[in-house]
């Protein structure tokens, strides 16, 4: 058996972990789906975010913070290897609030997260700013915004360029990439694992399941929980406008090209990844409330995409007890955590210490929740 790792899924999670393993000298095969597979990696807004992560799970907030610290070096290395500009900016970010109740709830949430983690109490910086104080960070901010939480740890990138850079770097490091290989059966062997696909079978000593929403069907074959469901988001894109020195927000951000991405919607609609007129109207109305000057901007495209969401919204990192050497990785924060996935997480998998180092992120927490609602 020549390959060390078989990774199911060529999205940003699978490719980031592959990057870390390839840098360590491992022989890696990635089995990817078709062009029309469900791909959250191609449908997101590109935020590298810390704010709001980890309510109810401080360990997730700590991971997000550590990932933000690792991002600058991660980007610099990828750009040097590939010659690509990931359009990464790390100047901070703002999460907007539209009324007093929302502002108070946000501040309670952030204070609660810090109160449960001495590390975050020391390291995580944030401040609530009223609309007037936000004006220097968000020129053109509308009167309909109450304020927002500012943090220096947040940033953004071009998620498509990130994925492209990971592909380019991984291929340069010797990745065996197999597109169009839909996996329908995973089989544990005496000394490894086999994946049966639409284009043949593949084997390796160890296997990483990072198939996004596809993990739900495949995970039980490896004794993993695979507890994920789809949550739809919709995005509007404006024409290219003059660049303004604005910080990104989850609700809206200006890209390097000058276009505005408008989003931050969560819908429980199953596997429907379409766009709907009511939500598009809601997004457009909120965008104009945030930046009134967008009232006359033209919308050039829109799309829907499905987040990979666990029952509690936090990442799922698990090692199979039934079949040692099999691992499952799921997260809706694949962009924010990319530097962590390529670094510490890949190292933990390589050393087979995932179940010890990241026990809080295993699927066991969901069975406990079911027993103790």
Pair 240, 302 in one domain: yes
Q: Are the beta carbons of 63 and 343 closer than 8 angstroms? A: no
* Residue 147, strand partner residues: 97, 130
Of the candidates 87, 243, 248, 91, which has an alpha carbon nearest to the alpha carbon of residue 164?
A: 87
What pLDDT is stored for residue 116 in this prediction? Answer: 92
| First and final C-alpha spacing in the chain | 45
Q: Are the beta carbons of 222 and 194 closer than 8 angstroms? A: no
In a domain, 275, yes or no: yes
Pair 221, 241 in one domain: no
What pLDDT is stored for residue 33 in this prediction? Answer: 82
What pLDDT is stored for residue 370 in this prediction? Answer: 41
Considering 135, 152, 169, which residue would you say is the last residue of a domain?
A: 152
In a domain, 24, yes or no: yes
Pair 318, 336 in one domain: yes
Residue indicated by tokens 């960070």: 137
**Rounded distance, CA 327 to CA 222, Å?**
8
Region 10-31: mean pLDDT is 98
What pLDDT is stored for residue 367 in this prediction? Answer: 79
In a domain, 70, yes or no: no
CATH number of domain containing 240? 3.30.9.10
Pair 213, 344 in one domain: yes
Pair 195, 320 in one domain: yes
Does position 372 have pLDDT exceeding 60, yes or no? no
Strands across the sheet with 252-254, in order?
A: 252-254, 260-262, 229-238, 299-309
In a domain, 54, yes or no: no
Region 215-241: mean pLDDT is 97
What pLDDT is stored for residue 55 in this prediction? Answer: 87
Considering 152, 170, 201, which residue would you say is the last residue of a domain?
A: 152
Does position 373 have pLDDT exceeding 70, yes or no? no
What pLDDT is stored for residue 40 in this prediction? Answer: 73
Region 245-267: mean pLDDT is 96
What pLDDT is stored for residue 198 in this prediction? Answer: 92
Encoding tokens for residue 308? 């990979």
> What are the pLDDT digits (tens) for 36-92?
666 777 778 899 999 999 988 999 999 999 999 999 999 999 999 999 999 999 999
Pair 148, 168 in one domain: no
Pair 322, 224 in one domain: yes
Considering 111, 130, 152, which residue would you say is the last residue of a domain?
A: 152
The helix, strand and coil proportions of the chain, stated in percent and rounded to the nearest 5, come to: 35, 25, 40
DSSP class of 90: -
In a domain, 76, yes or no: no
CATH number of domain containing 181? 3.50.50.60
Region 4-17: mean pLDDT is 98
> What are the pLDDT digits (tens) for 115-127?
999 999 999 999 9
> Residues with Cβ < 8 Å from 213, sequence gap 6 or more?
38, 228, 229, 230, 271, 306, 308
**Rounded distance, CA 207 to CA 109, Å?**
37
In a domain, 319, yes or no: yes
Pair 220, 238 in one domain: no
What pLDDT is stored for residue 368 in this prediction? Answer: 54
Mean pLDDT, rounded, of the chain: 95
What pLDDT is stored for residue 37 in this prediction? Answer: 66
Pair 144, 166 in one domain: no
- Report the DSSP pairing between strands 206-209 and 5-8: parallel
Which region among 169-173, 199-203, 340-344, 363-367 has the lowest average model confidence (pLDDT)? 363-367
- Report the DSSP pairing between strands 127-130 and 93-97: unpaired
Does position 369 have pLDDT exceeding 90, yes or no? no
**Rounded distance, CA 99 to CA 227, Å?**
35
Q: Give the Cβ contact number of residue 157 at 10 Å.
A: 25
Report how many domains make up the chain.
3
Pair 199, 319 in one domain: yes
For 234, the domain range is 230-309
Pair 143, 212 in one domain: no
In a domain, 50, yes or no: no
In a domain, 10, yes or no: yes
Q: Which DSSP string do the residues of 147-209 spell out, in sequence order? A: EEEEETT-EE--HHHHHHHHHHHHHHTT-EEETT--EEEEEEETTEEEEEETTEEEEESEEEE
What pLDDT is stored for residue 371 in this prediction? Answer: 36
Segments of 82-145 assigned E as strands: 93-97, 127-130
Region 326-332: mean pLDDT is 97
Q: Among residues of the chain, what percentage have pLDDT more than 70? A: 97
- Report the DSSP pairing between strands 299-309 and 229-238: antiparallel
Does position 228 have pLDDT exceeding 50, yes or no? yes
Q: Among residues of the chain, what percentage have pLDDT more than 90? A: 93
Pair 351, 322 in one domain: yes
> What are the pLDDT digits (tens) for 103-146?
999 999 999 999 999 999 999 999 999 999 999 999 999 999 99
pTM equals 0.95
């Amino acid at each position: 058996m020549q390959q060390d790792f078989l990774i199911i899924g060529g999205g940003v999670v699978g490719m980031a972990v592959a990057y870390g393993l390839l840098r360590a000298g491992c022989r890696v095969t990635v089995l990817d789906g078709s062009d029309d597979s469900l791909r959250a990696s191609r449908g997101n807004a590109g935020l590298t975010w810390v704010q709001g992560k980890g309510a109810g799970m401080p360990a997730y907030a700590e991971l997000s913070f550590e990932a933000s610290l690792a991002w600058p070096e991660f980007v610099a290395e990828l750009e040097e290897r590939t010659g690509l500009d990931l359009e990464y900016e790390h100047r901070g970010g703002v999460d907007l609030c539209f009324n007093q109740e929302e502002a108070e709830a946000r501040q309670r949430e952030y204070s609660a997260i810090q109160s449960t983690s001495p590390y975050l109490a020391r390291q995580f910086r944030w401040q609530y700013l009223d609309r007037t104080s936000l004006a220097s960070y968000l020129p053109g901010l509308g009167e309909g915004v109450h304020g927002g939480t500012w943090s220096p740890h947040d940033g953004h990138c071009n998620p498509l360029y990130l994925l492209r850079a990971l592909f380019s770097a991984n291929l340069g490091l010797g990745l065996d990439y197999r597109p169009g290989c839909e996996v329908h059966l995973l089989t544990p062997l005496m000394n490894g694992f086999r994946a049966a696909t639409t284009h043949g079978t593949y084997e390796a000593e160890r296997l990483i399941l990072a198939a996004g929403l596809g993990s739900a069907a495949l995970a039980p074959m490896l004794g993993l929980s695979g507890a994920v469901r789809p949550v739809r988001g919709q995005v509007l894109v404006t024409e290219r406008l003059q660049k303004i020195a604005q910080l990104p927000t989850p609700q809206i951000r200006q890209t390097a090209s000058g276009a505005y991405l408008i989003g931050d919607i969560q819908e429980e609609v199953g596997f429907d990844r379409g766009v709907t007129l009511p939500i598009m109207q809601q997004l457009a109305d909120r965008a104009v409330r945030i930046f009134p000057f967008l009232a006359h901007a033209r919308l050039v495209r829109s799309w829907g995409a499905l987040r990979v969401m666990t029952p509690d919204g936090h990442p799922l990192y698990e090692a199979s007890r039934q079949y040692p050497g099999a691992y499952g990785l799921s997260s809706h924060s694949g962009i924010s955590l990319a530097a962590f996935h390529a670094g510490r997480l890949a190292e933990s998998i390589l050393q087979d210490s995932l179940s010890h180092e990241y026990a809080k992120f295993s699927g066991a927490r969901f069975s406990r929740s079911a027993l103790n609602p």
